[in-house]
Each structure stands twice: as C-alpha cells, then as structure tokens.
Amino acid sequence: MPENYLITVVGPTAIGKTALGIQLARHFNTEIISADSRQFFKDMKIGTAVPEEEELATAPHHFIQHISVEEEYSVGDFERDAIAKLDELFQRKKVVIMVGGSGLYVKSILEGLDYFPEVDPQIRAGLNKESLENLQRKLANLDPDYYKNVDTENPHRLIRALEICIGTGKTYSSFLNRKKEARDFKNIQIGLTSEREKIYERINLRVDKMMEAGLFEEAKKLFPKRHLNALNTVGYKELFLNLEGKITKEEAIAEIKKNTRRFAKRQLTWFRKDNAIKWFENTAAPTDIIAYAEEKIKCSSQ
C-alpha cells in the first residue's frame, strides 16, 4: 500500500501558519485539517482569526466554524472526528495538511490521547464556578507534579486536571504518558517562528486589525452567551469586561494584546519540547519549506 503523509504546521499565533498551510495544500493538491480549537466555533470569526473567504476557497478546510458556541467539543471529540476525516481523505490523497497552534489538539492526532476515566459531570460544573486562584491552589495541593508543568493561567486545563483528581481520587499526572496510538500515516512536522519581539509586533498589529474589522461588535453580539465555555477565551473575555463596565475599551484592547502575547509564549514552550519539529523562520521562502517536505517524503518512501 502507498504510504500516507500528514504535514503538520505549528507555531505561535499570528506567525503565518494559515498562509503556509494553504501554499502546501496547493502544492500537494490536497486539503487542510484545522487543529485550532478556537476556530471550531461559529460566530467567533474575527476574534479567532478564521481564514478569509478567499483563503478558504483556495484550499478545502475542515474543522473551521463547524459547531455552535453552545456545544461542548472536547479534544477527545476532535481526535475522533479528525481521525475519521483523515481516513476519508487518505482514500484519495497521499498527503494531507494539518494546521494549528493548539498543542494538545495536534498531539491528539499525532499520538492519541492519554486515557482518562469518566467522572461525575457535576464536579466540573462546580469547578466552573471557582476563581482561577482557587483552581490553582487546589491543583497545587492535589497534584503538585502536574501543577509544575501545566499552564496555570488556563482555567480549562486546571479544571480538567482537577475533575480527574477529585473524581478518581488519583492524580491527573498518573494517567499521563501512556503508550502512543499507532497511526496509519507518517507525520512531517514544520514549525514557524521568529524573534520574540517580532512575534509580539505581529500580535499587536493583528489585534488592531481585528478591532478595525469589528471584533467589538462581534463580542457585543455574543455578550449574552458570555458564560459559555467556548467564549472564555482571549479576545472576548476582555471585551466582555468592558461591556460589563469593569474596564475601558482601551484597557480591554491592551489586555487582549498582553494575553495573546502570553498565549504565544506558552505555544512556543509546548512545541519546542518536540524534537521532531523542523523549525523555519516565518520569513523563509515557502519553496524552501515545500522542498523540505518533498525530501522527507522521498527519503521515507525509499
């Protein structure tokens, strides 16, 4: 049987992953799986930097704005659906592209997820009402090993770990690093990066463009649904604070930029742990990156 290849493009937000993914898809005449967990949800187009209509028309994309913000959609749901889509695509394509900055979602496709038992959903419901500080304190006490490695500013990660700790009486970390899933494709990982200050400049510019494109109006429409898990994300939660009268619009914009920069730093920390990623400057010629992917396929096929 001919071998299948998944070319994965990763890196921090605003670095240029979408454009590179499209160029790779056009070169290989294939389709794109999005592994950006913020772009799954409808009605969040501007704040999650969903590709423009002309970009989406250039190469077929999957898992972009395909579910309602009112739906729960976990990384496990994504793994199941994306693997099924890849199985379908590999019936007619030798190469498929995956693009995304959500490290855990990328990992779920390349390696599979660690197994966690089901726990009482009421545990999560209770944790959702707690402050970030309380969540951090509880996790530091219940699972100090995981607390040292988790993004302590991410309430989703804290709550996920805590519900397992509380629901099973065991640490979250005890369920991690199980045997990897065997996949029927070979993976080629490409990372885009740049100097930190340049990344931050790109982020600041993107936020300004989002505001010009109508991010505030988008957040205003979603404001009645601000309690939903999907909307507890950078770009919306800061503007919700403004709409609640707690901060000014200027302060909200500054917070969006600051929190997005922090998010980019966490993304780089995650991906740089993976030695399989071949890093390129975001200014690198796409032809050089395509040539690298072609060479990897050629060598792997021999």
Give the contacts of 243 (CB within 8 A, at least 6 positions apart).
Answer: 219, 220, 223
Same domain, 171 and 258: no
pLDDT in tens, 248-273: 999 999 999 999 999 999 999 999 99
**Interatomic CA distance for residues 199 and 126, integer angstroms:** 37
Residue recorded with tokens 């909200």: 252
Specify binding-site residues.
Answer: 11-18
Please tell me whether residues 130 and 279 are part of one structural domain: no
Claim to verify: residue 170 and residue 226 sit in the same structural domain = no
Range of the domain at 237: 5-113+179-301
Question: Residue written as tokens 């944790």?
Answer: 127
Q: Is the pLDDT of residue 220 over 90?
A: yes
Predicted pLDDT at 116: 81
pTM for the full predicted model: 0.84
Q: Give the chain's domain count.
A: 2
Q: What percent of the chain has pLDDT over 70?
A: 98
What is the domain-level CATH number for residue 146? Answer: 1.10.20.140
CA distance 134 to 36: 28
Token readout for 70 is 């009112």
The model's pLDDT over 100-158, given as tens digits with 9 standing for 90+, comes to: 999 989 999 999 887 788 889 899 889 988 998 999 999 999 999 999 888 888 888 89
Are 194 and 227 part of one and the same domain?
yes
| pLDDT tens, position by position, 4-56 | 999 999 999 999 999 999 999 999 999 999 999 999 999 999 999 998 888 88
Q: How confident is the model at residue 302 (pLDDT cuts 50, 70, 90)?
A: low
Q: Mark whether 91 and 138 lie in a shared domain.
A: no
Residues of the binding site for ATP: 11-18
- In angstroms, the Cα distances linking 20 to 35, 193, 200, 252 are 14, 12, 19, 31
Q: Which of 84-98, 125-139, 212-226, 276-290 has the lowest mean pLDDT?
A: 125-139
155 and 214 fall within a common domain: no
Burial class (CB in 10 A: 0-12, 13-18, 19+), 184: exposed
pLDDT of 70 reads 92
* 192 and 163 in a common domain: no
φ and ψ at residue 255, rounded to 5 degrees: -70, -40
Distance CA 181, CA 111 (A): 5
CA distance 159 to 298: 44
Task: Judge if 245 and 161 occupy the same domain.
Answer: no
- Residues 292/190, Cβ–Cβ less than 8 Å: yes
Give the burial class of 154: count Cβ atoms within 10 A of its Cβ; 0-12 exposed, 13-18 middle, 19 or more buried: middle
Q: CA 180 → CA 107, 168, 172, 176, distances in Å?
A: 10, 23, 18, 11
8 A C-beta contact, residue 94 and residue 2: yes
For residues 142 and 23, membership in a common domain is answered with no
Q: Would you list which residues are annotated within the binding site for substrate?
A: 13-18
What Cα–Cα distance (Å) separates residue 14 from each residue in 50, 182, 254? Answer: 11, 32, 17
> Are 224 and 265 in a shared domain?
yes
Between vectors from CA 179 to CA 174 and to CA 185, what angle results, nearest 5°?
140
Write down the residue that tokens 């990982």 correspond to: 189
